[in-house]
Amino acid sequence: MRARKATVVRRSKRGREELAQLVQQAQSGDRAAFDELYRRTAQAQFYLMAAKVGDDAATDLLQELYLIAWRNIAQIRPDAVLGYLGATGRNLCRQHLERISGPSRPVPLDADALESAHETGGHIAPNDVGRDPAAVIGARDEQARLARALRDELTDFERACVVMRYYQ
């Protein structure tokens, strides 16, 4: 028996149109079209999720992602299916990380708040207790470098974009 080769979705107009057609067919109740949509997009979604949460969690989150997509197929815009999958996958990863580590503190956007966050960076957070001191100090140094870069190198608009993309 010959193994099936995974289809890679190319970022071409034709590829997007084919995905849009599959979504439209799935919206009409065609389960085989949804299966094909999964086959064409799942690998990329898995790797995006695995980069954020690791392989084990990504496997479970991938199943949840496509279950959500199937349940909400009627509301998905066919031409925006990749965006829908990406945004939903990102949200699932964020929720997973919050479940395992607790909610994160909000990231300040303005330069004054970044400066005060840098100045008060010496406190011990509740989740620091019992951790390796070198890891705690390394994480604080990393946060300080990031705060400095956000404060000194970016405009307010660029800073807001970075925070929305990576922290929300």
pLDDT at site 3: 46
- What are the DSSP calls for 74-125, one per residue? GGS-GGGHHHHHHHHHHHHHHHHHHHHH-PPPPPP-SHHHHHHHHHTTTSPP
Instruction: Report the distance separating Cα 90 and Cα 93, nearest Å.
Output: 5
Q: CA separation (Å) from 24 to 8, 30, 71, 81, 86?
A: 20, 9, 14, 10, 19
User: From the CB of residue 74, how many other CB atoms can be counted at a distance below 10 Å?
Assistant: 8
Per-residue pLDDT of the chain (168 residues; tens, 9 = 90+): 444 444 444 457 888 899 999 999 999 999 999 999 999 999 999 999 998 889 999 999 999 999 999 999 999 999 999 999 999 999 999 888 888 876 555 655 666 665 665 555 544 454 554 566 777 677 777 777 777 777 778 777 777 777 676 665
User: From the CB of residue 53, how many other CB atoms can be counted at a distance below 10 Å?
Assistant: 19
101 touches 125 (CB < 8 A): no
pLDDT at site 127: 53
pLDDT at site 112: 62
pTM of the model: 0.56
Residue carrying structure tokens 């690998």: 43
Angle separating helix axes 31-53 and 55-71, nearest 10 degrees? 140
pLDDT at site 114: 58
CA-nearest of 153, 52, 31, 105 to 22 is 31
Degrees, nearest 5: CA angle 154-157-162: 70
